[in-house]
Amino acid sequence: MGKNAKTYVLLAIVAGVWGLIAYRVVGSLSSEPVESTALAPLVTKSLSPIQRDTFLIRADYRDPFLGTMPKAKTVKPKRTLKPKKPAPPQLAIAYVGTIRNSSAKDHIYFVTIAGTQYLLQQGKQAEGVTLVSGTEHDITVKHEGRLRKIKRQ
């Protein structure tokens, strides 16, 4: 087959494919009624609920390897949970920032306690809150015997 013959065969195939696509598009745009292929309605049977078969296995026979009888299981009384003490309301503490004294190398932390801002150093106390330790990212405070870690805002 020559080069021109292959080209003509491929051109005829491409023209046929595009002709088929155009025929389908034009056919779908026509206003002729389309035959419906409706399925017959399904008939369903109502099923009765299945009753489960229940049984009990009693394994109260002698152990074939040890030659002993199983011990009776003792039922432990259920533990009753003790009511927990409600946690005391936590004081609103926020860590705002820090400044550093370059000559003394001490850090001073800006801490907001219940809406009031304080300047605290490590070990200092304000409104019952003691600053235990701190970094540029977070501080650790002690309030009513509890340690809290507070991140910088």
Instruction: For residue range 20-58, list pLDDT tens digits in order.
Output: 999 998 888 877 665 667 777 777 777 788 888 888 887
Residue 27 per-residue DSSP state: H
Tell me the per-residue pLDDT of 65-82, one tens digit each, with 9 for 90 and over: 888 887 777 888 888 888
Q: Cβ distance 87 to 143 under 8 Å? A: no
- Report residue 101's pLDDT band, with 50, 70 and 90 as the boundaries: confident
Does pTM top 0.75 for this prediction?
no
Rounded Cα distance, 105 and 12, in Å: 89
Three-state DSSP class for residue 21: helix
Rounded Cα distance, 127 and 134, in Å: 18
Reading the block at residue 23, the tokens are: 């025929």
How far is residue 5 from each of residues 10, 11, 13, 18, 19, measured CA to CA in Å?
9, 10, 13, 20, 21
